[in-house]
Amino acid sequence: MALFTYSRLSHLLRIYANKPPVLRTAAEITHGPPCCVQLVRCQRTMDSKALQERQKQHMAKGLPKQKPITGVKRVIVVASGKGGVGKSTTAVNLALGLMANDPSKSVGLLDADVYGPSIPKLMNLKGNPELSDNNLMIPLINYGIPCMSMGFLVEDVAPIVWRGLMVMSAIDKLLRQVDWGSLDYLVVDMPPGTGDVQLSITQNIPIAGAVIVSTPQDIALLDARRGAEMFKKVNVPVLGLVQNMSVFQCPNCNHQTHIFGSDGARQLADTLGVQLLGDIPLHLNIREMSDRGKPVVVSSPDSPEAEAYRKVASAVIQRLEEINP
């Protein structure tokens, strides 16, 4: 099969540029009778509508049918338009917060960031997953949360240098070839941005809702808005925004400083018509415990930081019940 290369695209564009137009120009039809002008305009409108209809039918055929993950009741994706805003830390503590608020619920954690997996470090997990009798990968478990990540399948420092098709294949394996058992919630740590992985996941599995993580900084909010708009386009409910690193409190004098700005995510939530799920402070304890693989929800359950994550988890459940009672 021939490849549609850049050189072939350029060749086709050159042919199109040199081809005389099928329809006459405005100057050519100026002196014609008015009925001819109307006929041309009508033909253009009909051609445009027919083209749009064909494109819609073609796209519908190309889209995969959504299929639920076996054993998983609800999938919650945690996303951000930009990296470095604390998305993975939020995803981990959200999963732990869901279970802390209701220990009867089973929660799993999927790391969909193929190029930069963070879950193994944050959850203090190492090793390769074993295979079940059905040849499915068995998640690694810590703090009562079964986890799956590309980081379990490669060396810690090994770069993943893959093109799009290989990444899509890896995502499919992480979605379909894992024995999750029975889960009430599967929290998916999405990669930053709005690219192939996000589209592949949203088109292949039913998603209960998306949580958008951002700092209050303007430059981060721009990308957070793009992320929220992407989920709306693919008909995934946006549960709300989490304003991360909202305020820094000096450990010596308790003075509060809004390093990344104040209430930027709250204002964006109002603009988008979605809920602000909560504020997470910029706190040394969150960073230190995350680096040690001991998330604050389990290592410091009585701290204000852990309480902030549990409040976000409660807000997420409330929004899910409102959307799917």
Radius of gyration of the chain, Cα coordinates, nearest whole angstrom: 25
Enter the tokens of residue 69.
Answer: 């993950």
* pTM metric for this prediction: 0.77
Lowest mean pLDDT among 83-87, 178-182, 313-317: 83-87
- Average the pLDDT over 256-279 and give the result: 82
- Average the pLDDT over 227-242 and give the result: 90
Q: What distance lies between CA 295 and its chain's CA centroid?
A: 21
Bridge pairing between strands 107-111 and 140-142: unpaired
Report the pLDDT value the prediction gives residue 41, as an integer from 0 to 100: 59
Whether residue 107 contacts residue 143, with contact meaning beta carbons closer than 8 Å, is answered with: no
Provide the 3-class DSSP secondary structure of residue 250: coil
Lowest mean pLDDT among 36-45, 161-170, 200-209: 36-45
Q: What angle do CA 231, 139, 150 make, to 5 degrees?
A: 60
Report the pLDDT value the prediction gives residue 42, as an integer from 0 to 100: 56
Report the pLDDT value the prediction gives residue 66, as an integer from 0 to 100: 84
* pLDDT at residue 25 is higher than 80: no
Report the pLDDT value the prediction gives residue 144, as an integer from 0 to 100: 96
Report the pLDDT value the prediction gives residue 4, as an integer from 0 to 100: 34
Residue whose pair of structure tokens reads 């409330």 in the numeric block: 318
Domains and CATH numbers, the chain: 72-323 (3.40.50.300)
How far apart CA 201 and CA 164 sit, in angstroms, is: 14
Report the pLDDT value the prediction gives residue 2, as an integer from 0 to 100: 39
Locate all alpha helices (DSSP H) within 19-163, ordered by sequence: 26-29, 34-62, 87-101, 119-122
How far apart CA 118 and CA 85 sit, in angstroms, is: 13
